Chains A and B, each alone.
Chain A
């Protein structure tokens, strides 16, 4: 019998994998992809709670839709910034993009 806890554990696994990727990768695009993974895990959480706790209200699914909107906006602006950085510095390694680091 698949219940709420299965989906919550699956979302936790995906979130922690995305967190590991965001903390360890050096390529800026891969860091952005890892953040997408974490946002997707949160979406699973929202929909699972909506399905098992308040099935008639669907408020969790509305939140998931807004998370999708913001994630799409974040990817568009993030990739524009990454392309701009690549054009100026010829690299995507976040260790070499250290203009504001001291």
Chain B
């Protein structure tokens, strides 16, 4: 019962904040709506018992990405009436509603498999085991070591690339 109440509140906040993102004219308010939506999604992650992901969502999205977005909005100084719609409003509305209808139809008509296996009560340790693999038997389960290394290289390239692109000539 408590889970249901929390879900409906968080879902309503997330959807209203997302609508605020696409409807409002002031770009600064758009960014603030995005932050509200991200916090609601972090609450949804807690409902799904993904505690590490909820913390990462708050730290990475609410802490870092939103600050960078607000910094860019401040630098470009076009926030008063900056977010107007283009001429594609009605075709885009039709496409979005059609896509949602299709997705909802697929979700409701499919008989999803569900498991009743025990959840680990703390996902951080289990996630670390998933990503880094079982180090005792390296040949059997190496986890996600290669994608992890590639994402480290990606972050390095992004830091250098962002500095090079945004630098004053």
Contact = CB atoms under 8 A, between A and B. Distances in A.
Interface of A: 1-10, 12-21, 23-27, 29-30, 32-34, 36-37, 40, 43-44, 47-48, 50-59, 61-62, 64-66, 68-73, 75-77, 79-84, 86-87, 91-92, 95
13 contacts: A25-B86, A27-B84, A30-B27, A30-B30, A43-B57, A51-B49, A53-B114, A53-B115, A58-B130, A61-B50, A69-B155, A79-B72, A79-B166
B127 A76 contact: no
Contact of A5 (B21, B44, B93, B112): B112
B138 interface: no
**Main SS of the interface on chain B?**
helix
B166 A84 contact: yes
Contacts of A76: 68, 158-159, 162
A24 B155 CA distance: 30
B85 A26 contact: yes
Interface of B: 3-4, 7, 11, 14-15, 18-19, 21-22, 27, 30-31, 34, 37-38, 41, 44-45, 47-50, 52-53, 56-57, 60-61, 64-65, 68-69, 71-73, 75-76, 78, 82-86, 88-89, 92-93, 95-97, 99-100, 103-104, 107-108, 112-115, 117-120, 123, 126-127, 130-131, 144, 147, 151, 154-155, 158-159, 161-163, 165-166, 168
B75 A86 contact: yes
Given A10-B11, A29-B82, 8 more contacts: A10-B15, A14-B14, A16-B100, A17-B22, A19-B95, A44-B41, A54-B115, A68-B57
A19 B89 contact: no
A69 to B, nearest CB: 5
Given A7-B44, A29-B27, A17 B21 contact: yes
